[in-house]
Structure 1
């Protein structure tokens, strides 16, 4: 019985303290005391209570613009968005911080987190990649500006990941044209892929895909174009063979070539 009573008393005291704390916070939000809000926002930020800190910061940021306290405040303001995973705003606010305080000791980490914010916004490869291109630009800018930064390995790793995402996007786009039998578009897309991504892990598939699309275009063409397009397929086969003589798709490429040769032999017989 004693412990039950004690437990109820503690819960009552905790609830009272909590209500008092909430009441004080709400009262502070409604006040005009920027100094108290600055101190409270700093304490809440350090305690990891980012949403409450943010509400106070948003009220006092205009009041401290141009003052000595503005620099740490604006960094915490940007970092609060970052910690809340609001990456659109953290990227933007960190950029503003770097522009406003170029000599700050926090410029390097602000630049890194701005770039990383854009990286976080990059969508899966099947969607529009506008944010991915922006992230690559920001990350490359960071690496160029801070070549000896401790964050450089992470930035380079993100750049590699984003480039691979763009490669996959372009490769799958070409493949999609092949699947829907738009062979001309597939050939053009595979050719662009080969030019744009010389070191890609999809390079062999792209060379093979170009040849396959050319072959399918040829055998589905009107009669007077078939021979010319079969000969073009042979040229694509030679390009494939030049780089992937021992490749895993060599056998498939050979099978296409055999059929091409068989079809072309008919033209030679007729001639």
Structure 2
């Protein structure tokens, strides 16, 4: 069966292209490697282009073409979603070419790479803190950048992730009945996150932890800790008396009141 002429032509072009790529890849002609890598980059053939770039990047450091090569090399990793190497290479680019017209884009993509590496809130958040640092550096360095709004959105998202992590840690202490740790964690959360949407739950969680600590204490500590819990109720109700948690908070408060032993009044002498 004879293949149509068009298909044969396409196959010929593809095979020729592949053989040309292999020839350039094997040869030591840096100029041809650069030109082909640039062409492949422009048409989105990032994996093939990367193999060529990896061979020639060391040879172009300090040369006029080095700036362009380092940028497309970094951006190739970014487009391939290898954010570890993209962040690292963009960072190197900004250090090597601080006066480049591409330095602002490189700075943003470096920060964005660290953002992409930030894990879900349940996991260790070191990469999240790194991403926040890099994004804030970008915002401070380029206050008028067209990427500023996006950068601020990413910062808000990462901060909310950290809030979630911190709040869930406090809640976990409450769940495992480590009430002292829960009170401390909720205290820190309330201080560190004044605008958080978890704030109401943190006030309530601290109150519940203080109540449970009190009623599970040894007898000579119960009264003192009930009074502390009562103070946390006052803190909660000051801000959240009309919320869905107020009825439950009141029930606990009534139990606290029933357990507090009135201080005897000494008779006048």
TM surpasses 0.5: yes
Residue 244 of structure 1 and its aligned partner are, at CA, apart by 1.6
Give the structure 2 partner of residue 260 of structure 1: 256
Does 2:11 correspond to 1:15? yes
The CA distance in 1 between the partners of 2:10 and 2:238, in whole Å, is 76
Residue 242 of structure 1 and its aligned partner are, at CA, apart by 1.9
Give the structure 1 partner of residue 2 of structure 2: 5
Any idea what the Cα deviations from partners look like across 1:171-226, whole Å, max 9, x if unmatched?
00010111111111111110010111111000010000000001011111111111
Give the structure 2 partner of residue 53 of structure 1: 49
Which has a greater percent of helix? Answer: 1
Residue 229 of structure 1 and its aligned partner are, at CA, apart by 0.7
The CA distance in 2 between the partners of 1:43 and 1:235, in whole Å, is 70
Residue 145 of structure 1 and its aligned partner are, at CA, apart by 0.4
Give the structure 2 partner of residue 203 of structure 1: 199
Query: Normalization by structure 1: what TM-score?
Result: 0.94
**Which one of 197, 214, 217 corresponds to residue 213 of structure 2?**
217
Residue 15 of structure 1 and its aligned partner are, at CA, apart by 3.1
The CA distance in 1 between the partners of 2:23 and 2:142, in whole Å, is 44
Residue 270 of structure 1 and its aligned partner are, at CA, apart by 8.7
Residue 14 of structure 1 and its aligned partner are, at CA, apart by 3.0
Does 2:117 correspond to 1:121? yes
Give the structure 1 partner of residue 232 of structure 2: 236
Helix, strand or coil at the partner of 2:146: coil
Give the structure 2 partner of residue 194 of structure 1: 190
Query: Normalization by structure 2: what TM-score?
Result: 0.95
Give the structure 2 partner of residue 104 of structure 1: 100
Any idea what the Cα deviations from partners look like across 1:89-132, whole Å, max 9, x if unmatched?
11111111111111111111111111101000000000000000
- Count matched residues: 265
Does 2:117 correspond to 1:142? no
Does 2:70 correspond to 1:67? no
The CA distance in 2 between the partners of 1:256 and 1:36, in whole Å, is 77
The CA distance in 2 between the partners of 1:210 and 1:19, in whole Å, is 69
The CA distance in 2 between the partners of 1:84 and 1:133, in whole Å, is 24
The CA distance in 2 between the partners of 1:55 and 1:203, in whole Å, is 51
The CA distance in 2 between the partners of 1:72 and 1:200, in whole Å, is 43
Q: 1:236 to 1:269 in 2, by over 3 A?
A: closer
CA RMSD of aligned residues (A): 1.5
The CA distance in 2 between the partners of 1:247 and 1:263, in whole Å, is 25
